[in-house]
Amino acid sequence: MKSVVYFFLSISCLLSMAQEDLILAKDYYQNGKFKKALLLYKKLQTVSSSNSDYNLKIIECHQQLNQFNSAQDHIESQVLSSKHPQYLVELGYNYQLQNKPEQALLNYNQALLLTEQKPQYVYGVAKRFEAHSLLDQAIEVYEIGLLRSSNPNYYYQLAGLYAAKQNIEKMMERYMDYVKTNPPYMNQVMRLLADYISEDANQPYNQLFKKVLLKKLQANPDPLWNQWLSWLYIQQKQFSKAFVQEKAVYRRNSESLQGLINLAVLANEQKAYKTALNIFEYIIQNSTDQRTLIYANCKFLEIQLDISTDSKSYQDIKASYIMLLDRYQLGQHSIELQLSYVHFLAHYDNNVQDATTFLKTALKENLSKLTAAKLKMKLADLFVVQNKFNQALVYYTQIQMAVKNSALAQQARFKVAKTSFYKGDFDWAETQLKVLKSSASQLTANDALELQLLITDHTGIDSLNSALKQYAKADLLSLQNKPKEAIKLLDSVLKDYKSDPIIDQVLLFQAHLYESQKQYMNAASNYLKIIKDYKEEILVDDAYFFLAELYRTHLKDLEKAQLNYESIIFNHEDSIHFVEARYQYRLLRGDLIN
């Protein structure tokens, strides 16, 4: 028994020593101490003679020391003992280092021939060619492998090699082959190809990728190629063309409308409203799933609201909402439709009272805690709009108790703080916000931090916190869709509290309100005043960014836009707007951006 224990202890010690030697050998090699590394790798190789990593490092150390004959002796011994053709690559490379190209080529070709006969060696041989930057030979090995076996990973390796060779068309073809055999990796390949595809449909790589896809579609019609064409058109913001491809995918596989739904949402976000409406209409015509139908109908009406300007359109939309509610009735299943209708009543039909009554009726249905909480949240929001703060606070508190620790509960707590802020009860608002700073929802945490900073930075300036109270009232007026009244109130703050630290915040808020009213020159004036008078304050990078956006999108002064983006890039590297500012700056400068 003792001898067995002693045996295992000895093995353990040897393994530990070998591990230490390996770490030291790697360190010597990386630091160019090849003689010391060679001694250690030889020592390791005596213990594990078949370890190819040790053997390859011994060869490399000899070559680094210009000991080509010693390297050759070691390689030839491995050729005899292991029979692995990777050592023929090493032998060829050893000749190449001695400027003997004919002998090098002879061994490379022999390695290729053996790989063709025994496909199991493909990966090892290809990797040795790659290690010596012999990319053409590595490509040839993988292509041989594809002919001799069905390993789909060779497509991926080939795509990388073709990319290194700048043969982008072949790279794209092989990535497509890889996705065809490995569908779960589609998103990964999309991220890789995104480096080559831009918004410009005329850009050479965009044209090349389209050519590759059309060629594959003609040779072998498959919904996968339609999906990829849709992806390409989305990158180019050609949503109507993407719609054609997604319809083709759906016709071949009518199990799911998710691709069309995703496209409709994206088109809407990019303000391609007509295409988004067409897609949602197609979904409504083809879906039999009630949940999908309710969602698509809601989105269809909401987009119509975004693009409608006259009261007649609103009445038609209202009639559509009533018809849908009559069809699907109140209850758990139609919560999304109910919330959409309430939003319409409150913000477009200017009928907050009807919206409130509707919600109270809806809450009488048999609902889950979460669904009831969503309706109560909307009802509480309407109470805030009506200045019924105490009633709103009751409902927000009920939500926190009903769905504890949920994202909705955290949102309700934030709205308690915001409602207290509107009331001018800054101490209680701050108490709630301190809890929310560690919120699991990053969005809620960020909103909480922003509001807390606003309160802490601007309370105690005077005992009544007069300027901050006026700012809070203006914020509430904005929520109540009264931008003109909010602008007027903020004007009085700017006039009556000129020395208050909140002035830069007031200027920024008012500028946003001006923009919502299309008073772009007034907005620009506010941004410029922040830049001039508050250049040392924390809002100056916001002013530069929003001014740049204003010049770019509405005032069409691209030179000034570029200058303001530049100010962020060179003077405010820590700004949250830095990445977007750099992107827009490079676009305006004419850089090719992938």
Domains in the chain, please, with CATH?
A: 1-83 (1.25.40.10), 496-594 (1.25.40.10)
Residue (of 458, 433, 455, 431) closest to 446 by Cα position: 433
Calpha distance 259→278 (Å, rounded): 14
Calpha distance 530→488 (Å, rounded): 19
Q: How far is CA 338 from CA 281, 302, 382, in A?
A: 20, 13, 14
Dihedral, 325, 330, 334, 336 alpha carbons, nearest 10: 80
**Does this model's pTM top 0.85?**
no
According to the model, what pLDDT value does residue 149 have?
81
For the packed helices 258-269 and 239-252, what is the interaxial angle rounded to 10 degrees?
Answer: 170
Q: What is the pLDDT along the chain (594 residues), one digit of tens a residue?
A: 555 444 444 444 444 556 787 888 888 888 888 888 888 888 888 887 778 888 888 888 988 999 989 988 888 888 888 889 999 999 999 999 999 999 999 999 999 999 999 889 999 999 999 999 999 999 999 999 998 887 889 999 999 999 999 999 999 999 999 999 999 999 999 999 998 998 889 999 999 999 999 999 999 899 999 999 999 999 999 999 999 999 999 999 888 899 999 999 999 999 999 999 999 999 999 999 999 999 999 999 999 998 987 778 899 999 999 999 999 999 999 999 999 999 999 989 889 999 999 999 999 999 999 999 999 999 999 999 999 999 999 999 999 999 998 889 999 999 999 999 999 999 999 988 888 876 656 667 788 888 998 898 888 777 678 999 999 999 999 999 899 999 999 999 999 998 888 999 999 999 999 999 999 999 999 999 999 999 889 999 999 999 999 999 999 999 999 999 999 999 999 999 999 999 999 988 877 555
Tokens of 355: 């919206």
DSSP state of 121: G
The residues near 487 (Cβ < 8 Å, ≥ 6 apart) are: 510, 513, 514, 517
Tokens of 55: 């053997």
Q: How far apart are the first and last CA of the chain?
A: 68
* Contact between residue 593 and residue 586 where contact means Cβ atoms under 8 Å apart: yes
Side chain identity at 584, as an amino acid letter? Q
Cα angle 534-540-545, degrees, rounded to a multiple of 5? 145
- The Cβ-side half-sphere exposure at 27, using a 13 Å CA radius, reads 6
* Contact between residue 272 and residue 241 where contact means Cβ atoms under 8 Å apart: no
